[in-house]
């Protein structure tokens, strides 16, 4: 069994925060793969379903971000889920907006939700890091993370969430690299069609106008021929 965890803060006022992109990602997966309705359990909100060939539980801790590990730990212990079968989706400042990276283990890199999970189940779980970009100034980080996604962000956010949801079965197969590649492929801009060979090359000369065939003199009537002969004879006699 898989445990898919989305990190965020509970409540409507946090719903569109960049810090809640983990909640958004697991909601997109649950909706796309027909998971059951949400219910309260393990100090969180859970939904049951199947991802690929694996049974899966989606968990959104309702403990607030800094205590996410309490909810994750309860669920993992109840179902006897090993850390490598726990997949956590969360926001990443050090990735450009719309970029995604998957890794297993590692440090918390300053993310309080990940630090809390580390303290309850260890650090051997899988992480899906979703880029929200850095504001460029350390003093602006808190407002950036705890601020709503801008309207312009929807241009990359909605396609990203849809790609995460559609390619999530690769995570169920423990194929993290294939998942990451498939998401990137989904988000890649369409290739431009190859230029038509019939189009003129940059250095080609424009087509020259076709030469007009030489015009033939109109045919002479017998009367005209007789008149010319008679005229020539007259010229000679003179």
In contact, 186 and 159? CB cutoff 8 Å: yes
Known active-site residue 120? no
Residues 99, 121: contact at Cβ < 8 Å?
Answer: no
Tell me how far the alpha carbon of residue 42 is from its chain's centroid: 32
Q: Distance (Å, rounded) from C-alpha 57 to C-alpha 69?
A: 16
Catalytic residue chosen out of the listed positions 19, 33, 111, 144:
19
β-partners of residue 57 are 3, 48
Q: Is 11 exposed, middle or buried (0-12, 13-18, 19+ CB in 10 A)?
A: exposed
**Which active-site residues does the annotation give?**
19
């Amino acid at each position: 069994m898989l445990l898919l965890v989305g990190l965020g803060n509970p409540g409507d006022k946090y719903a569109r925060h960049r810090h809640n992109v983990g909640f958004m990602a697991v909601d997109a997966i649950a909706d796309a793969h027909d998971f059951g309705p949400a219910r309260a359990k393990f100090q969180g909100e859970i939904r049951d379903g199947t991802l690929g060939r694996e049974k899966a539980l989606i968990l959104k801790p309702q403990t607030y971000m800094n205590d996410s590990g309490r909810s994750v730990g309860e669920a993992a212990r109840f179902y006897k889920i090993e850390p490598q079968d726990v997949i956590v989706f969360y926001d990443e400042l050090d990735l450009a907006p719309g970029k995604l990276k998957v890794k297993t283990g590692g440090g918390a890199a300053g993310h309080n939700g990940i630090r809390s999970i580390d303290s309850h189940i260890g650090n051997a779980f899988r992480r899906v890091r979703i880029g929200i970009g850095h504001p460029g100034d350390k003093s602006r980080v808190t407002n950036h993370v705890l601020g709503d996604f801008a309207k312009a962000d929807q241009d990359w956010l909605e396609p990203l969430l849809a790609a995460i949801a559609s390619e999530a079965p690769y995570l169920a197969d423990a194929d993290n690299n294939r998942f990451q590649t498939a998401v990137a492929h989904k988000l890649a801009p369409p290739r431009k069609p190859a230029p038509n060979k019939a189009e003129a090359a940059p250095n080609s000369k424009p087509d020259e106008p076709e030469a007009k065939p030489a015009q033939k003199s109109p045919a002479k009537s017998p009367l005209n021929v007789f008149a010319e002969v008679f005229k020539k004879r007259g010229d000679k006699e003179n």
